[in-house]
């Protein structure tokens, strides 16, 4: 888009969607780009359909615990937070008042939320008396209502925490030429993993020790391209509802 086109858009609509993800190993099943390709595919399809501006995707995220595997590239938590603060401040300075982050990687959430609070903290500590007109929303694509229901129905406990069948299915739909549709390996035996309850990770060496092939309690061999098409369609509808409600909120 040109700058005048963005200015004209802002006269009609206050909001923008920013897909944010990561570039990190996804075991033997998934693409390294999975976590940014998924929110990007959802946001781009929504933006094109409903005439909403989608910012360039943030392809790098906070993935330090994946650095034991080739191809992973991480920002530090403080680097990601600094980047987000500058993006929010830039969009606020140029007239956007509803900034919607569509997230594709759990490790981003803490730095992302901290950065947004830093943006607001600058006003609060300065004693600004006008309520900030700029609102930010963070939503991970798998939390969207219809998507969450379908992925649980399709995969149950096999959804796991990393290299999930839902994210692999979504990339099968969005990037069919880049990932094998069949012949993905069976899940790693649970006995090979040293579990610690959920998705609270430590350093890269600890992650690799616990999860030798990079997958965390997930069975992406269940993923199909049709699942991905269904998840994508639901995600676009869910995102539309959530984004427009956010834009109307006071
Ligand atoms: Zn992922």
- The alpha carbon of 163 and the centre of ligand 1 are apart by a number of angstroms equal to 5
Contact indicator for 154, 165 with CB cutoff of 8 Å: yes
- The alpha carbon of 29 and the centre of ligand 1 are apart by a number of angstroms equal to 11
Q: What pLDDT sits at residue 197?
A: 62
- The alpha carbon of 105 and the centre of ligand 1 are apart by a number of angstroms equal to 6
* Angle at alpha carbon of residue 112, lines to 147 and 218, rounded to 5°: 40
Give 125's Cβ-side CA count (13 Å radius).
6
Where do we find the tokens 């606020």?
A: 92
8-state DSSP, 130: S
- The alpha carbon of 246 and the centre of ligand 1 are apart by a number of angstroms equal to 26
Tell me the domain boundaries of the chain: 3-248
Q: What pLDDT sits at residue 107?
A: 96
- The alpha carbon of 94 and the centre of ligand 1 are apart by a number of angstroms equal to 32
What pTM does this model have? 0.95
Where do we find the tokens 């359909």?
A: 49
* Angle at alpha carbon of residue 97, lines to 17 and 135, rounded to 5°: 85
* Separation CA 131–CA 84 (nearest Å): 21
* Separation CA 204–CA 188 (nearest Å): 19
Question: What pairs with residue 19 in β-bridges?
Answer: 102
Mean pLDDT of the chain: 94
- The alpha carbon of 101 and the centre of ligand 1 are apart by a number of angstroms equal to 16
Nearest to 97 by CA among 60, 71, 135, 63: 135
Architecture of domain 3-248: 3-Layer(aba) Sandwich (3.40)
- The alpha carbon of 12 and the centre of ligand 1 are apart by a number of angstroms equal to 35
- The alpha carbon of 93 and the centre of ligand 1 are apart by a number of angstroms equal to 32
* Separation CA 72–CA 168 (nearest Å): 17
Q: What pLDDT sits at residue 226?
A: 97
Given a cut of 50, the residues of the chain with pLDDT beneath it are none
Q: What pLDDT sits at residue 201?
A: 87
């Amino acid at each position: 888009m040109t700058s005048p086109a963005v200015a004209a858009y802002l006269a009609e609509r206050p909001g923008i969607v920013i897909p944010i993800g990561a570039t990190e190993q996804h075991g033997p099943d998934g693409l390294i780009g999975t976590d940014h390709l998924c929110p990007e595919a959802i946001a781009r399809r929504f933006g094109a359909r409903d005439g909403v501006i989608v910012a360039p995707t943030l392809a790098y995220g906070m993935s330090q615990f994946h650095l034991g595997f080739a191809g992973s590239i991480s920002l530090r938590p403080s680097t990601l937070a600094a980047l987000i603060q500058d993006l929010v401040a830039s969009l606020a300075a140029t007239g956007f008042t509803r900034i919607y982050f569509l997230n594709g990687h759990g490790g981003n959430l803490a730095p992302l939320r901290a950065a947004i609070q830093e943006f607001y903290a600058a006003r609060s500590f300065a004693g600004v008396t006008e309520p900030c007109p700029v609102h930010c929303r963070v939503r991970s694509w798998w939390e969207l209502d219809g998507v969450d229901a379908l992925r649980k129905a399709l995969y149950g406990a096999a959804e796991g925490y990393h290299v999930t069948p839902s994210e692999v299915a979504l990339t099968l739909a969005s990037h069919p030429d880049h990932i094998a549709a069949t012949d993905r390996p069976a899940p790693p035996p649970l006995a090979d993993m040293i579990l610690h309850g959920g998705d609270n990770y430590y350093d890269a060496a600890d992650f690799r020790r616990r999860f030798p092939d990079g997958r965390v309690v997930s069975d992406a061999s269940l993923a199909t391209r049709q699942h991905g098409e269904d998840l994508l369609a639901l995600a676009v509808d869910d995102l539309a509802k959530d984004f427009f409600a956010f834009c109307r909120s006071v």
